[in-house]
Structure 1
Amino acid sequence: MFLCYYFFIVIGSPGCSGVKMLTRKYLFDKMNEQHSLSINEKIKDLENYLLVCYGDTEEHKNMIKKKFSYFKCDLIKRWSRAHRILENFLADNNSWLEGTFEIPVDTNQRPGRPTKSFTESSERTKRTNTEGVRASVDEEVIVLAAQVILKTEEKRNASTVLKDITNSSASASDCKNRHSKSKEIEPLTPLQALTMFVEADLTRRQYEIIRATNKRFYPHYELLLKAKEDCYPPKESLRVTSTCAEGNLQSLLDHTVTRLSLFLEEVLLTLDAVERNSLLLICKWGCDSSQQAQFK
């Protein structure tokens, strides 16, 4: 039967650096929590774990790396002698596992929850921390200091906006309204909703259930039908009888170009007049699941 050894802590005198001592058995068990990895990968993960948990400073990280390199070499030698069999390793290295691994710690740190930076603090904490500044420094000085700092950090637009909204109540109201509108989610256009409808292979019933969750965001189903009709060539260019169905080729090509232009509008607007006049439509014809030879 093998005993399980737990880690314990030894702290230095107040104001000095101390050490945390972990048993090698604790480290070995921690390493074996990763069952699917090789021994080298387990050792690497264990080293990263120690660096993340106890590497408070670069000095501590370097010390941990140095001490861990000795532990690593010793462990690999003993693991090889045990022919990489866990039972043999534990039986042969029981005394070695009772030994300890020292980790440097900073005893000057205050106990309890670690201190957060100002950015990570909550709004309430930020207000508390800035209470002294707000009480002793005039508002104009704080605003001017913020403007200067934004400029020095190459955030000139933000500095200009801050100056405008503090000098004019109208500008402040306008900025607030634009910010509120920007946070509103724009509803889907009928074409966007149709795209979702087709790609998700929805039925009308399924779409109506989805739309019921947010009727403002999803357009009415009838608008999807209208958008679908817009994808077809004009009705006057088609002729369907009991014996044939035919369509005007030029009308089909014109409609194709129109739809492509709508889809690529942002790209086309970047072209100059010469480039737009030199655009060429390349087409390929075919008949799916039909005998094509007779139409050649």
Structure 2
Amino acid sequence: MNERKRQVMLIAKKLFIDKGFTATSVQDILEEAKISKGTFYNYFTSKNECLMAILEDAHNESVIRRRELLVGRDKKDKDLLAGQILVRMQVNRELNLLPIYEAVFYSNDEELRNFVKAYHLSELKWIAGRLVDVYGEEAEPHAFDCSVMTLGMIQQLNHFWKAGSSKDPDIEKLVHFTFRRMDALMSDMIEQKDVLLEKHFISSLEVPAGDLKGKLQEDLLELKKKLEQEQFMNCVEYADFLLAELQSEKPRVSLLEAVSRSFREASNSTMLADRVNEILFLLWKYIDSNKTNS
């Protein structure tokens, strides 16, 4: 994503929050961003696609931060899982996306509602998988039920807190409270062999690992050239390493994880930081797919 497109997204997001998504027109975005209609439609096919790009960018940021938290840590640690769930809430707050999600939720726009629904299903699937990591394989039949209840408890406790207090909810306290309750729920469901939702309720949104690997290599080569042009040589070294590792018969996941985090940190102060994030999002998806299929 080029810098100009990102600036348009930031301006559009501010307008969506200030005026409301429905009340904001493409013309409003053109005037505020000082761009032509042709430039806007070169970036996005519609106002909806602009909004979806904003939400997708936030989703990718959440995925990267969550995966970075796992590096070198025990995936069975419940506090770690609670911290990962907090990441999504923190990113939404940092980027002030809650008003946008609410606008989509109450809209009649089927395209946007389906887009947000897909991400919600993806979130439920991710939580279900992490619950199995934490509670073991015996929790697998109950994981989707518990993922729905986890999000439901967090959301309802959050709403009640807002209704009953003038202070902002302590989301860290709220999430950790939820996971303490999940201990008893999961234990009882396993003991009672109680299942409501089956796997088919959660759609698989995974991209095949082979497709990801090819795209990763292509995108990394393109990024490496840009890094060389801008003389970000320390970042070039990270790109080179990732490319070499991806070309090997059996990429070493632990090294990919460690180097990707260092790559992200090194690129944070550069004009290509956003592009690095986009590629690292694909890398984490490739790593997860590779683990699943191994």
Query: What's the TM-score once normalised by structure 2's chain length?
Result: 0.22
Q: Which has the higher strand share?
A: 1
Higher helix proportion (structure 1 or 2): 2
Structure 1 or 2, whichever has the larger Rg, is: 1
Higher relative contact order at CA 8 Å, sep ≥6: structure 1 or structure 2? 2
For normalisation by structure 1, the TM-score amounts to 0.22
